[in-house]
Amino acid sequence: MSRVTFRPDQIEIQVPPGSTLLAAARLAGLLIEAPCNGAGHCGKCAVQVAPEYFDRLTIPPDSRLPPEREEAGWLLACHALVQGDVTVTIPVRRECGLQIVTSGEKRRSVALSPWISKRFMPESCQTYVYAGERLLTVERGDSASDICGVVVDIGTTTLVVALVDLVSGKELASDSALNPQSLHAQDVLSRIRFCAEPGGLARLQGELIAELNRLIAGLAATAGVSRSWIYEAVFSGNSCMLHLAAGVDPAPLGKYPFTPTLTGGEHLEAAALGLAIAERGVVYLPPVISAYVGADITAGILAAELTELSGTTLFIDIGTNGEMILARDGHLAATSTAAGPAFEGMNISHGMRAAAGAIEGVRITAEGEVELDVIGGVEATGICGSGLMDLVAELVSCGVVGASGKFTPAERLPEPLGRRIEKVNGTTLFRISERISLSQKDLRQVQLAKGAIRAGIDILLDERGVTAAGVDRVYIAGSFGFHLREESLLILGLLPPECRGKVSFLGNTSQSGGELLLLSHRLRVELELLTPLVARVELTGRSDFDRIFMKAMGF
């Protein structure tokens, strides 16, 4: 056995030779951020090792970091194999000020009719608590006015929780946080793979519920209510997130025929999940459309009132998964694409989440100067998804990047821009600032992500016999989408040019739609009846998918 010592906590663990440093850290209960779950793509699991320990590690040639980083002792924990006793330093995560959109538009009003209700019986001086027509519990005294619920948007990257008074229908408090699962695996497929490892599902579910309990406790304290008054939670999120929250193996979502075990429209016991609300509290899972069009989208259908709109509406939730609905006079069709983690900055050289220090907006002036908007007004330490989209769009507009996605040679560019084109270790990059650059590989990741979504849009329109010019309105949903600009989406080619002037950004409709479901059990019935009627468009069944996808990658 080999001994691995992790600094700064001086935690030691014995592992068999050939184990990765990432596996050793997980065995020791330590967190090394690895959003690609050890695939070696993201580069986020870098740790530091003193030179005298290098001969006790095996580092595969294809997983080496740039020479200057290796010389400073940095290596990828997911690929470094332990062959003897080593000491490793884990960098302290300094992510703070994470920007999360906590609300979205609700385009419909709703009569207050929550699933949870109370009836006070003066003759017995007791209050009866009901979930629908089912008696949940009986409480002493008159507690009829003490009744709350929570809406939880379980995003792949972020969590949003809102505490709602079910008597008045008013939101009492809300909070948000990083989804702790994203530190182990960024996207849906890598989380499914993580769950296949021993204890993987239990770890992801446990860490998620623990973070939700922390958020709910904070909201209850802020609003001055007891957690025993919170009788229901509505979990909104994609199909995989619902499986993980419920502790249900998501493996069927990752293999053909991609059939979800949970289809939603059901209640679970909160206590069985470990959710710390009322002792007899329940959790409602909204219905899902398919394995990759989940409750976040069905909640969005309600929030955007898609079934009530005349004409043609394209609804897109942009994230690690690109989920979309085409609504034509109340008739809906849905599809989804795997966009990958580029929009979250996770497989980008200097990518980071939307936290303090992240570049969130970029402009290139007529004189060729690069102007940056940085979260928190501090020195830029990386670039988040919205900044990445802005930057690439600006580079395309200025001719620094061609339609094929390749950098234009420096000598063919105006001097202020040409001097930012550099060659480092045989790789071409654009220098954004002294510390931050965009590489040719990064550009390819953006092309792959936006190409996947554009291909989904084109195929969805084609399957339903709609031209891009025939789309009356485009709704962009999701926390990430809220920070984007229409012009950037058009320049990148993520949206067809015919969509110009038709785009609206709705924010977190998973959350706002979930709130509608918390406030109205009638809407739950409506949604549960609607979901089976949504046409499912499968991209994998198209023989021309590869051709459409390749075309969609161009700028």
How far is the C-alpha of 547 from the C-alpha of 302, rounded, in Å?
Answer: 34
Going by their DSSP bridges, the two strands 312-317 and 473-477 should be labelled as parallel
**Phi/psi at 232 (5° precision):** -145, 145
CA distances from 241 to 148, 154, 375, 441 (A): 24, 6, 28, 29
- For 304-339+450-552, CATH number? 3.30.420.40
Q: What is the pLDDT, as a whole number, of residue 49?
A: 84
Q: What is the pLDDT, as a whole number, of residue 171?
A: 95
* pLDDT tens string 89-123: 887 665 555 556 556 666 667 889 999 999 999 99
CATH superfamily of 2-89: Beta-grasp domain (3.10.20.30)
Please, what are the averages of pLDDT over each run of 10 residues along the chain (555 residues)? Answer: 84 85 80 71 78 80 68 80 85 60 67 94 95 94 95 93 96 93 86 93 96 97 96 97 97 92 96 97 97 95 95 92 94 91 80 86 90 90 90 94 93 92 88 91 93 95 96 91 86 96 94 96 96 93 89 92
Domain with CATH 3.30.420.480 in the chain: 116-297
Q: In what order do the strands lie in the sheet with 331-338?
A: 503-507, 473-477, 312-317, 321-328, 331-338, 535-536
Q: What is the pLDDT, as a whole number, of residue 40?
A: 67
Q: What is the pLDDT, as a whole number, of residue 38?
A: 65
> Is-contact 285 277, C-beta < 8 A?
no
> Is-contact 342 451, C-beta < 8 A?
no
Give, to the nearest 10 degrees, the angle between helix 295-304 and helix 239-246: 120
DSSP secondary structure, 130-190, as one string: EETTEEEEEEES--TT--EEEEEEE-SSEEEEEEEETTT--EEEEEEEE-GGGGTBSSHHH
* pLDDT tens string 213-262: 999 999 999 999 999 999 999 999 999 999 999 999 999 999 988 999 99
* Token pair recorded at residue 304: 């955007």
How far is the C-alpha of 525 from the C-alpha of 320, rounded, in Å?
Answer: 29
> Is-contact 454 537, C-beta < 8 A?
no
CATH superfamily of 116-297: Domain of unknown function (DUF4445) (3.30.420.480)
Q: What is the pLDDT, as a whole number, of residue 64?
A: 64
Q: What is the pLDDT, as a whole number, of residue 68?
A: 67
> Is-contact 268 282, C-beta < 8 A?
yes
pTM for the full predicted model: 0.86
Q: What is the pLDDT, as a whole number, of residue 540?
A: 79
Domain with CATH 3.10.20.30 in the chain: 2-89
